[in-house]
Amino acid sequence: MSIIDLFGKGRRGVFTWVLLILLFCSFYFSPVQAVVSAQPGLLSDRVAAIVNAAPFALENFIIPGGLSGKGELIGIADNGLDRGSLSDLHPDLSNDADRAPRISALKSASGRNIPDDPSGHGTHMAGILVGSGESSQGKYRG
C-alpha cells in the first residue's frame, strides 16, 4: 500500500492531496511570525503620557493654602461608574470611614438596570475628580 492509496483515487484523491498541500503551504509560508495575547485597556489610560502631563499639586495656587476641594459636592452625569455598585468600587473611589463619602449615589439615566461603566469613561472622570490615589500610593489623586 502506497501513500497515494491512503487518500483514494480519482476526484476524491486529488481533492484530498490538494487540500493537504494547501494546508502545508499555509503553515509553512504563513506571514504570521507570532501570536500574542493583547492586554485590554481603556481608551483614555495613556493620555497623561501622550500629552506629557504630571500631577498638578501646588500648595499656594490662586489662594493661600491652595485649592483642596474639601467640602465640595460634585455631580457627574456620565455613562456609569465602575461595576455599578457602591459596595464594590475601585479602591481609589471607595469611601473612607472618617470622611464624607467620595461617591454617595449611583443612578442610571440611560435606562440600564445597573449603572456600571462598560467603556471606562465615567469611572475615569470620577477618578479625576475624587480619586484617593490609593492604587498609586498617593501619586495620582483626584
pTM: 0.49
Residue 140 to residue 128: CA distance in whole angstroms = 9
Q: Please, which pLDDT band fits residue 131 given cuts at 50, 70 and 90?
A: confident
Mean pLDDT of the chain: 73
Phi and psi torsions of 8, nearest 5°? 85, 175
Question: How high is the pLDDT of residue 2?
Answer: 61
Q: Give 44-63 pLDDT, tens digit per residue.
A: 556 666 666 655 556 666 66
The top-scoring range by mean pLDDT among 1-10, 58-67, 113-122 is: 113-122
Task: Give the SS3 label for residue 112.
Answer: coil
Q: How many CA atoms lie within 13 A of 27 on its CB side?
A: 5
Residue 116 to residue 120: CA distance in whole angstroms = 9
Q: Give 54-110 pLDDT, tens digit per residue.
A: 555 566 666 676 666 777 777 877 777 878 777 777 777 777 777 767 777 788 777
